[in-house]
Structure 1
Amino acid sequence: MPESSKNDLLVLSIYDVIDALKIREVGGLLNATFGNATELIISMHALKSGMLRVVQQSLLGSILSNMLLVLGCALLGGGIVHCKKEQVFNKSSAAMNSGLLLMAVMGLLFPAVLHFTHTEMHFGKSELVLSRFSSCVMLVAYGAYIIFQLTNQKNLYSPISEEGTQTEGEGGSADNEEPDISKWESIMWLFILTSLISILSEYLVNAIEGASVAMNIPISFISVILLPIVGNAAEHAGAIMFAMKDKLDISLGVAIGSSTQIAMFGIPFSVVVGWIMGRPMDLNFQLFETATLVMTVLVVAFMLQEGTSNYFKGLMLLLCYLIVAAGFFVHIDPESVRKSLNIHLSSNLQYPGVVYLCASTQL
């Protein structure tokens, strides 16, 4: 069986398992966590190898992919299947995730502004110190969000009816169906399937690296666009599936929740791990990348503020993603960043992939 077919099979199996859990918001949280496992594993490996820009761009690409591509496909698919009505979702949940994403934007924006305005008190150090402090604050905020989500899900995250009122989630026949497997069996299968997907994704990443040289594709396009599409295959399939079942709250929990987890946990966690490893990983994602994230968060926040969904909103998000993809296809790192990569190149010679990727950034 081809690797892509195996990957698709594992993705569908994960969401069959998640659907068996019958817990809307916790299910969305598990979707995001296990779906992001691939990106986090790749990021830790790249961080250990000193590929800081690959870590930054792949995590950024995961956020952009989830917010524009995954959510856009989910809204488009759900809108087409349920074209005779306007799908609704919980505005409170969407607003809270939007707020967390804006907080993440703040955390990434300040180090970038500090760097490009040349207003650092200690050049080269203040930016890194600010990034590490902000990362710790963001991790605390995300931990508090998880606690709040789990302890208040009955009130805040109850499903929304078409009239805009909250329901208890126990009256529908679909929610009363008996799961085929138990909760603990579901969690066990999640661990197994996620591990297999991560292994398959590693082979795909190696193929993408070769394509960057053979096809003369910028490494920024690979890291921000192609790599997250592979890593977000699970979220993509699950979000569309649940949207077509008119379970839009779970779709939002998958797409927006995954973006929130990467922004508020994945990126700060990488900074802290880099701190422990002695790697100068910071929150300065450079001006172009930071501006792209700011615009993406604002666009999605405006799309979700009404608490309703239709296929046109999904189409708009997909078109926005095409613009982002085109932007990164013609984007290369600034000269100062490439010089910085060359300076650290000699210290990373024990990792052949580092030399290869650093050289590719200058395409």
Structure 2
Amino acid sequence: MKQKFFYGALIVSFLLSGVAHYTDMSSTVQFIISAIAIVFVAGFLGKATESVAHYAGQRLGGFLNATFGNAAELIISIFLIKEGLFDMVKASLTGAIIGNLLLVLGLSLFAGGLKYKEQKFNISLAGHNGTLMLMAVVALIIPAMFAGTKVITPKETDTLSLIVAGILIVAYIFWLYFSMVTHKNYLSDQEEMEPDHHEEPAWSKSKSVLFLVVATVMVALVSEWLVGTLHDFTTQFGFTELFLGAFIIAIVGNAAEHSAAVMMALKNKIGTSVEIAIGSSLQIALFVAPVLVFVSFLFGETMDFVFTTIELVAIGVAVIIAKSITQDGKTNWYEGLLLMLVYVILGVAFFLV
């Protein structure tokens, strides 16, 4: 019954979003319908990736979930870049990083902790994740520092941004090789090293891959429709691009990670939840953001890698507390609550800007 309701809501919301986009409905109505639609589409994407994870194994499954979950963020950002909304792109990237580290991870730890007194995951993986997160913060601070002190010109800032973006992409590719190939067993939880055969997947292998592709296409369409409403929506309600990008777009775009990470935590697969939440943040910082710099370059106007002081502080705060909480490889519900409370504090601060 629940599945029938979900698929019915998915189809109806998707069709209504398309109708709203191609008719003369108000921007507010279009935004609300598209936001609801992308939540259901992201949920469909999450189900497809979870089914694929059954055949691929939990570690690779978590990576796939983070990757396809970030498809919405990447696609939304490309459309925003096409419109020249660079500040909103940076805000949405900031929101995606802190949303995954504080909201997605926090909600997962909280939900899993209420069911299980203590949950454990690979402590070596936690250490490497923490180091990579700090590297991402350093890579964001350096361009902002040099551009902010005016020691380099805007053209040199663009050059530095492209070089830093390229280095981060290389670092991320080697991290995948390190974690998935040369040190795969070292970074895997013992019970998650083999594919999950304890539960039946939702679909067959071929159908799972097909639905993964279909869901990604649906995300792309709804994302384009959503972006088309943002300018009028922000003007009408007085939201700043910073708040809209960092929280509203980020929460909508992270819907797939929310559902999948919490679901895994409730199944006592906290290692997969951590892989989805922290792995998704790392993917945003080390791969998605750098790729968007190159995408903007191809569009003819380079989006520099210079984030505002507010954005850098928010990311830094999220990284510090997330690293502190996960570095021992053990979690409980109270640590999840702390992460969510920090997210609320940042949300209020961004709203008041």
Please indicate, yes or no, whether the TM-score normalized by the shorter chain is above 0.5. Answer: yes
Please name the residue that 1:101 is paired with: 133
Q: How does 1:224-263 map onto structure 2 within 5 Å?
A: 224-263=246-285
Q: Aligned to 1:283, what secondary structure does the other structure show?
A: coil
Q: How does 1:12-161 map onto structure 2 within 5 Å?
A: 13-82=47-116, 85-120=117-152, 123-152=153-182, 154-159=184-189
Q: Call closer, same or farther: CA 1:199–1:297 in 2, change over 3 Å.
A: same
- Contact kept? 2:108, 2:273, Cα under 8 Å: yes
1:212 aligns with 2:212: no
Q: Call closer, same or farther: CA 1:272–1:23 in 2, change over 3 Å.
A: same
How far is the alpha carbon of 1:243 from its aligned partner?
0.3
How far is the alpha carbon of 1:182 from its aligned partner?
4.1
Q: Call closer, same or farther: CA 1:145–1:118 in 2, change over 3 Å.
A: same
CA distance in 2, matches of 1:315, 1:45: 34
CA deviations over 1:89-112 (Å, ceiling 9, x no partner) = 112222222222211111110111
CA distance in 2, matches of 1:189, 1:176: 22
Counterpart residue type for residue 175 of structure 2: Y
Q: Aligned to 1:125, what secondary structure does the other structure show?
A: helix
Please name the residue that 1:327 is paired with: 349
Counterpart residue type for residue 324 of structure 1: L
Please name the residue that 1:305 is paired with: 327
Aligned length: 319
Please name the residue that 1:338 is paired with: none
- Percentage identity across paired residues of the two chains: 37
How far is the alpha carbon of 1:137 from its aligned partner?
0.6
TM-score by length of 1: 0.81
What is the CA RMSD across the aligned residues, in angstroms?
2.2
- Contact kept? 1:169, 1:175, Cα under 8 Å: no
CA distance in 2, matches of 1:55, 1:311: 32
CA distance in 2, matches of 1:311, 1:144: 33
How far is the alpha carbon of 1:19 from its aligned partner?
4.4
Task: Name whichever structure is richer in helix by fraction.
Answer: 2
TM-score by length of 2: 0.84
Q: Call closer, same or farther: CA 1:77–1:18 in 2, change over 3 Å.
A: farther
CA distance in 2, matches of 1:168, 1:273: 36
- Contact kept? 1:107, 1:131, Cα under 8 Å: no
How far is the alpha carbon of 1:179 from its aligned partner?
4.1
Which stretches in structure 2 are left out of the alignment for 5+ residues? 1-8, 14-35
How far is the alpha carbon of 1:195 from its aligned partner?
1.9
CA deviations over 1:196-248 (Å, ceiling 9, x no partner) = 23333444444554432232222211011000111100000000000000001
- Contact kept? 1:76, 1:310, Cα under 8 Å: yes
